[in-house]
Structure 1
Amino acid sequence: MAVPLSAARLCRLAGRTVRSLSVRPRRDVNPPAARFYVTTSRENNLQFRLDDRTAHSSLDLFKKDTAVIYRLLGLDPSHVPDNPERFREWAVVFGNEKITGGRHYWEVTVKKSQVFRLGVAEALMSRDDCVGTNKSSWVFAFTKLKWCAMTSNKMVPVTLVGKPDRLGVLLDYEAGLLALVDIHKPRIIHTIKAQFKTPLCPAFGLWDGELLTHSGLEEPEGLK
């Protein structure tokens, strides 16, 4: 059963990024519908990179934009291009593909991170929110050595995961399914059910360490 969790509690669990002394005025501007994410995918074997235009100023991309590292202090927000696609409050980055249908699978390698989130979000999600705290995003979160599934500011505990170095994410757009996958079995650990109605992007939150994405993969046998 989903357990409601207040926004204030979420702030304590995940922690906002450390902010610079130089802060730009907050602007309530959502990204335009067709200004970014030039490709879309309905087929399987989604291949994506991380989109630097969406990355919070505390996140650095590397390995040809397939990996992200969290910087404790990060950049002064005034030193990164000011655009409406960038997350302003939380250490979040999106993949550069819009998903409008199909069944897709990718994997994530986790290095030295104890607080992170993996999943999907609507491409036009507010850049003032964190993934998992609104009805526009669906993620699996790891915090304080525990896993949970998150959406709409609610958390559902996920058991029998531990702290693996590499995990799979399976998305079936038409079936309304997002799954966390144990790649070694392979097996589905936990699923989130939803009704996806708008284009989605792979979504990542990171508050320490590094994440490396692996896309363009075949879905492991036995998951269907």
Structure 2
Amino acid sequence: MALPLRMANFCRLAGRTAGSLLLTHSRASTLLARRCYIVASAGNKLQFKLDERTAHSSLDLFKKDTGVIYRMLGLDPSHVQDSPLRFCDWAVVLGDAEITGGRHYWEVTVKKSQEFRVGVAEASTSRDECIGTNSSSWVFAFVQRKWFAMTNKKQVPVTLVGKPERIGLLLDYEAGQLGLVDTQKSAVIHTIRAQFRGPICPAFALWDGELLTHSGLEVPPGLQ
């Protein structure tokens, strides 16, 4: 079944031509295996920054790589370091923490954005696809003032959520759950259920405005 027009527009290409920086899967797999991460073990508060090596050329990182802003024109791709870790066609950036277990919580402040996605993705997720459109990423998407839970091109409307200013994400790796949290009420609004097969990272997509991440947080008492 075809995506609704508004979602199709949301999934548009951002910033680069598809053929300009496509990389072979064998080369990508080799360097992905060498990538260094901050490992988030089961007992630690998740602490991460955004990984510039993965950021699409339309995304600028700021505030010591904890925030990301969308630039409509973006950077000249020839001025961006060539890397198989980088998303070539989609405005996506990953966090630099590799999560292999435990329960973790982080928050995102949203500024002037009407189109974005927040969630998690496998560290080796395809750089040729947008997060939420494959079986290796799980995200909450905000577009046209509506929320959707997305994975593997499936989308489920999320109700009882308005225009965000600050949202939370609660991840339980072993239980296979990613929750969208109302930070005002300290309550989970919607949960995506998954079977995580390996290391995953915080993941973000942005088509306007900016996002600021807040990590190193305790799970709020109301969510324990």
**Into which bin does the TM-score normalised by the smaller protein fall?**
over 0.9
| 2:138–2:150 contact (8 Å) kept in structure 1 | yes
Partner residue, 1:145: 145
Report matched runs for 1:1-224 at 5 Å.
Answer: 6=3, 10-19=7-16, 24-29=20-25, 30-31=28-29, 32-42=31-41, 43-224=43-224
Q: Which moved more, 1:91-100 or 1:9-18?
A: 9-18
Q: What TM-score comes out, normalization by structure 2 length?
A: 0.92
1:13 partner amino acid: F
> What is the DSSP-based 3-state SS (H/G/I as helix, E as strand, rest coil) of the residue aligned with 1:139?
strand
| 1:108–1:212 contact (8 Å) kept in structure 2 | yes
Where does the alignment leave 5 or more consecutive residues of structure 2 unmatched?
A: none
Task: Decide whether aligned partners of structure 1 residues 104 and 188 sit closer, same or farther in structure 2, where only a CA change above 3 A counts.
Answer: same
Whole-Å separation in 1 of the counterparts to 2:6 and 2:89:
16
Task: Decide whether aligned partners of structure 1 residues 9 and 186 sit closer, same or farther in structure 2, where only a CA change above 3 A counts.
Answer: closer
| 1:5–1:153 contact (8 Å) kept in structure 2 | no
Whole-Å separation in 2 of the counterparts to 1:46 and 1:127:
24
| 2:15–2:91 contact (8 Å) kept in structure 1 | no
Task: Decide whether aligned partners of structure 1 residues 25 and 80 sit closer, same or farther in structure 2, where only a CA change above 3 A counts.
Answer: closer
* Aligned-residue RMSD, C-alpha: 1.9
1:84 partner amino acid: P
Whole-Å separation in 1 of the counterparts to 2:97 and 2:4:
29
- Structure having the higher helix fraction is 2
1:52-92 Cα deviation digits (max 9, x unpaired): 00000000000000000000010121110001000001000
Whole-Å separation in 2 of the counterparts to 1:93 and 1:172:
22
| 1:148–1:156 contact (8 Å) kept in structure 2 | yes
1:176 partner amino acid: G
Whole-Å separation in 1 of the counterparts to 2:5 and 2:145:
20
Task: Decide whether aligned partners of structure 1 residues 75 and 33 sit closer, same or farther in structure 2, where only a CA change above 3 A counts.
Answer: closer
Q: How many residues align?
A: 220
Percent identity at matched positions?
63
> What is the DSSP-based 3-state SS (H/G/I as helix, E as strand, rest coil) of the residue aligned with 1:222?
helix
Whole-Å separation in 2 of the counterparts to 1:145 and 1:168:
18
